[in-house]
Amino acid sequence: MNVKARFLFLPLGAVVISGGPAFGTTYLTVEQAQSILFPGAAFQPDSRTLTEEQVKAIERASGVSVRNKQVKVWKVSTGGWFLVDEVVGKHEYIPFAIGIDDLGAIKGIEILEYREAYGGQIREAGWRQQFTGKRAGMRLQLDKQIHNVSGATLSCKHVTDGVNRLLATYETVLKSSVR
Amino acid sequence: MESIVSSQRMKQSSNHRSVERAQPWLGTVVSIRVAGMPAAEAQDAINAAFEEVAAIHGRMSFHDEKSEVSRLNRCAFSGPVQVHRQTLEVLQWALLFSSRSEGCFDISVGGELVDWNVLPRPSGSFRLPKGSWRDIEIGRDGGVFFHRPLWIDLGGIAKGYAVDCAIERLLSCGVSSCVVNAGGDIRVAGRQPERIALGLQTAEGTSPVVELSEASIASSDSGKGRKQSKQKSVQRYGPHVHGIRRSPVPEGRFVCVIAERCVVADSMTKVVLAEGRNSGEFLKEFGASAYLHDSSSGWEHLGSEIDVP
């Protein structure tokens, strides 16, 4: 077995979650998400502002409140729609993209950025000053970044709610669109 | 000549930036990172790995009435049900853990989880659950039969299993260095050690971090207790059920388990939360190592000794 593991304790201020900007991880730009969800297609921006009536219809159909009346949409040349939205996570907004095919089914969901990794404990990188003394067994490469967290509860309920809201948005606003 | 080419290739592979993506599956966010490969190939491998995760999500969701888990909960008491090879594998792992933990790990706790408002009541006609893991039978032809009505929930094992499948798919696509993280159930492949922060704030003012190489880690906590509530919609207890006592596991515990396979690490967290330091022998049987934090007694190591990276 090749399993190797070591258990360490780092002073609280030293735990910096890697990625950036703002201590998050950027997975995809909007353009990258477009080409992953609809390879080879062209995208025509077709953003909408929801009317009060549409907001009510979407909220009724999905059971999810509409916080933002601006809907970022692109019409896909090969059929279907590409939408970008964001939901509130535990501490930050989570931007994500969704592809809907021309039958109204979800083609895929991609999270664009994720900043939830360590909640409120994300610190500035000025912690190196704390490591002036050497501790036995703790000769760490201090610039080694920490990219993952285990044990903090990460639920995708908000993303799922957001997706349901966008599906209702498709039904209400986009499906019968002739633009 | 060969050594020049191979060292050039090594240089090339270390020049590629790592690629990482995340999608919502299994009730959480699943992220997949691939290093040492050109971006286009990395994306193809990641697509393939997400397909694995999506398929497992579809088969094993308690919430989806079309899933195999829902079909088993509806029909397996009436007669054997054929399921996908992966669902069968998860059931086999679950039964192995149940028998070795004397029922402390038990996937038939769906009834309790519904009672506690952790899971929604399944829609459609379901007989009320009565049995335990001992009532799950897997026939020679792979048909799954419940000797008593059961509500099985694979929430305590499916994430770990999905992580293993995603890693295996990535490796089969030629990836040599990758990390898959399903809501904190993580597996690392490749020689480069990976540091993982544990999601626990302790009073000692330190952050526990595990450095892993070619291993999996899963963590769980049993919370600080919830207010008892008569309100139907409020979750009454945490999501961890002691399989034998059918009651909530002791509060105030945090555990991380390290093992080769993520399905092992994921499942073991439940047993360690339930049994605390009594779970040492059980962990050793599966070559797993655990760090248990109890609010009253601090950190304790249990299970196998593991080499340091």
What is the predicted pLDDT for the residue at A70?
Answer: 96
Give chain A's length. 179
**Are B183 and A154 inside 8 Å of each other by CB?**
yes
- Burial of residue B203 (CB within 10 Å: 0-12, 13-18, 19+) is exposed
- For all residues of chain A together, what is the average pLDDT? 78
Query: What part of A 78-137 touches B (C-beta under 8 Å)?
Result: 96, 108-111, 114, 116, 118-119, 121
Distance set, CA B223 to CA B272, B273, B295 (Å): 14, 10, 10
Q: Which residues of A touch B195 (CB under 8 A)?
A: 8, 144-148
3-state DSSP assignment of residue B142: coil
**Does B223 touch chain A if contact means CB atoms closer than 8 Å?**
no
Interface test with A, best of B17, B23, B216 (most A CBs within 10 A): B23
Q: Do A147 and B194 touch (CB under 8 A)?
A: yes
CA distance B274 to chain A (A): 16
Q: Alpha-carbon distance B197 to B211, whole Å?
A: 9
**Mean pLDDT within A13-39:** 73
Query: Locate tokens 């390879």: which residue?
Result: A39
SS3 of residue B86 by DSSP: helix
pLDDT of residue B121: 86
Distance CA A16, CA B255 (A): 22
The string of DSSP letters for B152-180 reads ---TTTHHHHHHHHHHHHHHHTT--EEEE
pLDDT > 60? residue B228 = no
**DSSP 8-state code for residue B307:** B
Per-residue pLDDT, averaged over B55-73, amounts to 94
Amino acid at A92: E
Residue in A109, A146, A153 nearest the CB of B195: A146
| Nearest residue of B to residue A7, measured between CA atoms | B210
Phi, psi (degrees; rounded to nearest 5) at B182: -110, 90
Q: Which residue has the higher pLDDT, A74 or B295?
A: A74
- Residues of B in Cβ contact (< 8 Å) with A110: 21-23
Residue A12's pLDDT is 61
Are B155 and B270 in contact by the 8 Å Cβ rule? The answer is no
Which two structure tokens, joined as six digits, stand for A10?
A: 């780092």
Q: CB–CB of A15 and B28 under 8 A?
A: no
- Check whether A127 has a pLDDT greater than 90: no
Per residue in B181-190, pLDDT (tens digit) is 998 999 999 9
Here the ipTM equals 0.85
Residues 6+ apart with CB under 8 A from A148: A117, B31, B179, B181, B186, B194, B195, B196, B197
**Distance (Å) from the C-alpha of residue B110 to the closest C-alpha of chain A?**
19
Contact indicator for B180, B32 with CB cutoff of 8 Å: yes
Question: Of B268 and B298, which is predicted with more confidence?
Answer: B268
E-assigned strand segments in B26-168: 28-35, 136-138, 144-146
Distances (CA, A) of B77 to B136, B208, B248: 9, 45, 27
Check CB contact under 8 Å for A154 and B184: yes
Are A121 and B201 in contact (CB < 8 Å)?
yes
Single out the residue of B178, B258, B33, B182 nearest to residue A3, CA to CA: B258
Give every CB contact of residue B78 below 8 A, 6+ residues apart in sequence.
Answer: none
User: Tokens at residue A110, please?
Assistant: 């991609």
Position B11 scores a pLDDT of: 46
3-state secondary structure of A95: strand
Alpha-carbon distances of A84 from A169, B131, B235, rounded to whole Å: 12, 46, 32
Q: What integer pLDDT is reported at residue B51 of this predicted model?
A: 98
Measured distance CA(A101)–CA(A96) in Å, rounded? 17
Please give the angle made by the CA atoms of B11, B16 and B19, to the nearest 5 degrees: 150
The whole model's pTM is what? 0.88
Confidence of residue B13 (pLDDT cuts 50, 70, 90): low
A78 contacts A57 by C-beta, under 8 angstroms: no
Yes or no: say if B92 and B85 are a contact pair by the CB < 8 Å rule.
no
Please identify which residue in the block is written with the tokens 């299970």.
Answer: B303
SS3 B285: helix
Of A123, A107, A104, which is closest to residue A168 (Cα–Cα)?
Answer: A104
Phi-psi region of B124 (alpha: psi -120 to 50; beta: other; left: phi over 0): left
Amino acid identity, position B274: A
Distance (Å, rounded) from C-alpha B278 to C-alpha B152?
A: 26
Average pLDDT (B29-45) is 95
Q: What stretch of H or E contains B248?
A: strand B247-248
